[in-house]
Structure 1
């Protein structure tokens, strides 16, 4: 006998209802143009898209997780040095090893190294804003970087993005990708952000906040923030790409 419609596959926890933001949230102005006007159509993946192309572990250099190593002209990036670390977990709390995790972020002045960024804050010649690593056997990951700055954006009259770091998590193929972002504990801009406000569940917002972790901080060097990423289930991290969380 087949599974009842709407029941999750055996061993998988269903995603939490209301965890992810609706496609249309008028206070987030760009969602007005991006929101679909018709119901989505599910397209099944092919063997090629689900199992390849893949990345090799040898393609990731150890220093790619250290954004403090310098870029371009060399030297040290300007800003508050931090460590961002955590674990990649499935819906049952089990570690997900060997996953490719990428980050990108603005510099300490709130500007991205991207030609589309028109913010008049200065670029940091020693900071790329991008890093990547593989999760360990226990699902752990760690990046050394600088705390990004907040920046204004043309959503309303005086909207500012809280300091945040974007995360991209790949599965067994590049077609399997989830994107989210981490905010910083205690940032007063978090509840004022129209993008954060698209999340209907306040508990979901807390799962996007990296918590200050003094135990992992390095004295006279860097504060640490812990950010665990849960792929699915009621405690799943909200993702921007696949509301299903897998």
Structure 2
């Protein structure tokens, strides 16, 4: 955030178009009228405020936070990184939420009817608050890919959804993180809404062996930026941020 402005303005032209025929459902969900530019209200630039007391002790640990009879099935991973503003400064005290499919590619959701089984020991969601320097970390299970009804044989790459709150509601960001080396990324209809390879690259987490736990858990690093020219990109959305 600049000292002489509320927040960095966001350029809608720098994000995927809301209507992208390659991603069929976006055509029906996209706005039919020009968007309106509104002045931020005081509540949008000063809140919300989160405290560590609002979190449970296992909210950041998706391997343990939903166990019923044993640990979940799948590859154990660490997802970590830093949340920053448009000038590269770490944002402390920010709420980071995530949700994902299980190792078989199925969400714990009533509308998900994919044939992969539900894992009774995996809930698929978690949250944490960034430390004073903007760092966050989760333990989880690497999600599996799954088919979706778009073209005849479209599959989503393994991915994790993120919801971020910056220092104000006007900085809200919802995005997705992908995994380095996944061959399905090149075939994904949703990522294809972003024609610039450099922008797509910002959504791909890099393998981080330095943060891995030997003989236990691989790690991936995913830094995210709220607003500014280095902002983490939305996917097929023109709202928020």
Fold shared per TM-score above 0.5: yes
SS of match in other structure, 1:64 = coil
1:78 and 2:76 correspond: no
- In structure 1, what is the equivalent of residue 174 of structure 2? 179
* Residue pair 1:27, 1:194 contacting (<8 A) in 2 also: yes
Distance in 1 (alpha carbons) for counterparts of 2:36 and 2:100: 32
Query: What are structure 2's unaligned runs of at least 5 residues?
Result: none
* Residue pair 1:84, 1:227 contacting (<8 A) in 2 also: yes
- In structure 1, what is the equivalent of residue 25 of structure 2? 30
1:233 and 2:228 correspond: yes
Displacement of 1:173: 5.4
| Moved segments of 4+, more than 3 Å | 8-19, 43-56, 172-176, 240-246
Residue number among 14, 20, 24 corresponding to 1:19 in the alignment? 14
Which stretch shifts more, 232-241 or 219-228?
Answer: 232-241
1:63 and 2:41 correspond: no
- In structure 2, what is the equivalent of residue 42 of structure 1? 37
Residue number among 181, 189, 197 corresponding to 2:192 in the alignment? 197
- In structure 1, what is the equivalent of residue 128 of structure 2? 133
Q: Do the aligned partners of residues 176 and 241 (structure 1) sit closer, same or farther apart at CA in structure 2, a change above 3 Å counting?
A: farther
Query: What are structure 1's unaligned runs of at least 5 residues?
Result: 1-7
Displacement of 1:62: 3.1
Distance in 1 (alpha carbons) for counterparts of 2:147 and 2:239: 31
Residue number among 183, 208, 224 corresponding to 2:203 in the alignment? 208
SS of match in other structure, 2:111 = coil
Distance in 2 (alpha carbons) for counterparts of 1:134 and 1:69: 18
* Residue pair 1:178, 1:242 contacting (<8 A) in 2 also: no
SS of match in other structure, 2:198 = helix
Tell me the TM-score normalised to structure 1 length: 0.88
- In structure 1, what is the equivalent of residue 215 of structure 2? 220
Which stretch shifts more, 72-81 or 129-138?
Answer: 72-81
Task: Calculate the aligned-residue CA RMSD, in Å.
Answer: 2.4
Q: Do the aligned partners of residues 34 and 177 (structure 1) sit closer, same or farther apart at CA in structure 2, a change above 3 Å counting?
A: same
Tell me the TM-score normalised to structure 2 length: 0.90
Displacement of 1:200: 2.5
Distance in 1 (alpha carbons) for counterparts of 2:225 and 2:12: 15
* Residue pair 2:51, 2:93 contacting (<8 A) in 1 also: no
Q: Do the aligned partners of residues 9 and 18 (structure 1) sit closer, same or farther apart at CA in structure 2, a change above 3 Å counting?
A: farther
Displacement of 1:146: 0.5
* Residue pair 1:212, 1:224 contacting (<8 A) in 2 also: yes
Q: Do the aligned partners of residues 205 and 224 (structure 1) sit closer, same or farther apart at CA in structure 2, a change above 3 Å counting?
A: same
CA-to-partner distance for each residue in 1:89-120, whole Å, 9 max, x for gaps? 11111100000000000000000001111111
Distance in 1 (alpha carbons) for counterparts of 2:165 and 2:211: 26
